[in-house]
Structure 1
Amino acid sequence: MAETTKLTRKEKKALKERMKHLRSGKLEKRYARMGYLFMIPWFIGAGVFLAYPLISSFWYALNNIRITPLGRVFTFVGQGNFTQILIQDPDFLVQLVDYLTSTILSTPIIVVFALLIAMMLNMRIKGKGFFRLIFFLPVIIVSGPILKMLTAEGAGSISAIDVQSLTAAIGSVLPSMLAKPISDVFSNMITTLWYSGVQILIFLSGLQKIDKSMYEAAKIDGGSGWECFWKITLPNLKSMILLNTIYTIVFISSNSQNPIIVLIQNSMFSGTKEKGYGYASAMAWLYSVVVLLLVGLFALLLTTRKDQYEKQVKRNKKLKKKEARNLKRIERRNSRNAKRIEKQRAKGKITTHTTSRSDY
């Protein structure tokens, strides 16, 4: 008769844990499949509306495109469009330098202004929703042709500031390459601050997520409002500051008022043989590379090192996981050795007897 093996408590517990692990593994695979299923529309949209236009525009940049009654005629020129832009087109390089200088100057102004307004709107004041609407309203209204009309009427500058005298004063101290963008920032100060509506909302959401008990504990310990700002508010808004900085750079770079965007549009619809869709595509690719480098520069400046406490916590977690793995290995080794000994005892190779010092 076959002997029926009875499971011990440890073996039953190990079997239950194994079955639980298998079930959890199946659930994780099912969740992963569902996640990929929900991501399929995004992949399709990214392929149709992002990857295909990028590949097409890069192919356009390598060709000289002519529009004829029979359709588009492509003439492969390789890097000819890029060489022509960098060597023979002085307007693009001048506008690019002005763009870099003005963006580097205006981005911190917009982010700091948005942070200050968000902190004021986060206070306990009457009509808080009305003030939030006022600061966000320019984002909805001032766009496209309306912004062009307001800029043409001089609504984008501060009338109390004499822009010409300010430009002359800055030009007497700084070179013209830096004086012009700085004076443009002052002349378009109102327009620049109109771009801060979305950033204010992002900062507001970040401020509302900060635990108020942290401020209460700091005040009990004698911390002032200035210290609370530098020790609590600003560290908790680091990710929001980086997000708003990147958003501001992208918004300024893709704005219709940007002179480089206007230059690319004029080159696209130019009727000359040298310019056209290919020339404009090459110009757009060069401009995109510069924008990506600028975003990377600001991200590198704002990305701070991780806290030492966080590093220590992660190191301790890794050590605990390593110790748990070692314990599991030892338990598996001991269980294998115990099974081997039991098999040898069943075969009669090992006899159990008590030994004493006299046996030796």
Structure 2
Amino acid sequence: MTTVSAEAKVQTGKVKPAKRRLSIKSKQGLTGLLFISPWIIGFLAFVAYPLYRTVFMSFHNVSFGLKTGWRYKWVGMDNYSRILLEEIDFVIEAQNFFVSTLLYVPVIIALSVIIALLLNRKIKGTSLYRLLFFLPILILNGELMDNMSTYGGMSIAANRFILETLLMIIPSSHAVMLIVDLFELIVQLLWYSAVPILIFLAALQKISKDMYEAASIDGASPWTSFWKITLPMIYPLVSVCVVYVVVFLANFEANPINTIIMESKYDGSRREGYASALAILYSAVQILLIAILYYATRSRSSKGR
């Protein structure tokens, strides 16, 4: 009788049905979707159609005429086979980029962590040092960057005074060139480490000092605290830095692959279809690199899932 009367009250409108509440998991999912919604809107508005056009043109020979406009001739996989099997300039540069990135990224990450640890210490002039390491990002693009590359600002070997000083100290020219190459490599690695340093520095400043104090009371040395506290706390950001460094190296102006793609676009024997196929293959190389490095550097907790 009670069940029947309750149902009758609901049907007659005397008792309102209970509202369904979202579970905690659903609320977290909606919150995450809300946070990434600007990226989704930006991707659909500015990236989706150009990406479709790039894939579409990679399977065509594309030409343009003032009277006829854009013309597309279906060639299937000819552009890709031509890139991979006939004109191997891209293949050679892609191999060099793949190997060098696999070697550079771990060194850049390790160097960024070390410098972030140094900048996190309370010393005089910390703000100035942070500015110096972030300066490459401020002048990365534009006329200043072009002039530095053109007139030898990025190369130690272009500075005669440094070479002459080294020759006076070290008689062997081979040793001098080895030192110069080493310093140029260090400068490049520092140039690439600017943003990872800031990411790790921000993570270090979020670590509570109480954890270090408790560890020191228990007799832990600074070396032990680094491996047991510092590194586990900042390690999740390693994957973020890996993605950034790979994309940064791939799109750096000095990367010869970008020059090959741009020159192919205006080459009468290649045109936009060939350049689009180059861009697709280059994107595949970057995705493969990110996947390998991400899997190699992800945390142990995520590996066990």
Where on the TM-score scale, by shorter chain, does this alignment land: which range?
0.7 to 0.9
Supply the distance in 2 between the matched residues of 1:295 and 1:32 (Cα, whole angstroms): 26
Please report the RMSD computed on the Cα atoms of aligned residues, expressed in angstroms.
3.3
**1:187, distance to aligned residue in structure 2 (A):** 3.9
Match of 1:242 among 239, 242, 245: 239
Supply the distance in 2 between the matched residues of 1:104 and 1:185 (Cα, whole angstroms): 18
Structure showing greater radius of gyration is 1
Residue of structure 2 in register with 1:302 after alignment: 297
Supply the distance in 1 between the matched residues of 2:290 and 2:262 (Cα, whole angstroms): 23
**1:33, distance to aligned residue in structure 2 (A):** 8.0
Residue of structure 1 in register with 2:7 after alignment: none
SS in 2 for 1:270: coil
**Higher relative contact order (CA closer than 8 Å, sequence separation 6+):** 2
Residue of structure 2 in register with 1:116 after alignment: 114
Q: What's the % identity of the aligned pairs?
A: 36
Output one character per residue of 1:39-94: Cα deviation in whole Å (capped at 9) or x when no partner: 76543321121221111100000000012112111000000000000011121111
TM normalised by structure 2 equals 0.79
Question: Any stretches of 5+ residues in structure 2 without a counterpart?
Answer: 3-16, 167-172
Question: Any stretches of 5+ residues in structure 1 without a counterpart?
Answer: 4-17, 170-182, 312-360
Alpha-carbon distance change, 33 to 108 in structure 1, aligned in 2, over 3 angstroms: closer
2:193 matched to 1:196?
yes
Residue of structure 2 in register with 1:165 after alignment: 174
Residue of structure 2 in register with 1:259 after alignment: 256
Supply the distance in 2 between the matched residues of 1:305 and 1:139 (Cα, whole angstroms): 32
**1:150, distance to aligned residue in structure 2 (A):** 1.7
CA contact (8 A) 1:114 1:196 kept: yes
2:130 matched to 1:132?
yes
CA contact (8 A) 1:106 1:185 kept: no
Matches within 5 A, 1:34-183: 42-69=39-66, 70-158=68-156, 165=174
CA contact (8 A) 2:112 2:196 kept: yes
CA contact (8 A) 1:264 1:283 kept: yes
Match of 1:271 among 244, 268, 272: 268
CA contact (8 A) 1:119 1:204 kept: yes
**1:211, distance to aligned residue in structure 2 (A):** 1.7
Alpha-carbon distance change, 131 to 74 in structure 1, aligned in 2, over 3 angstroms: same
After superposing on structure 2, the runs of 4+ consecutive aligned residues of structure 1 that deviate more than 3 Å are: 22-44, 157-162, 164-169, 183-189
**1:225, distance to aligned residue in structure 2 (A):** 1.1
CA contact (8 A) 2:109 2:196 kept: yes
SS in 1 for 2:82: helix
SS in 2 for 1:210: coil
Supply the distance in 2 between the matched residues of 1:52 and 1:232 (Cα, whole angstroms): 46
Using the TM superposition, name which of 60-69 and 37-46 deviates more.
37-46
SS in 1 for 2:98: helix
Supply the distance in 2 between the matched residues of 1:111 and 1:208 (Cα, whole angstroms): 18
TM normalised by structure 1 equals 0.68
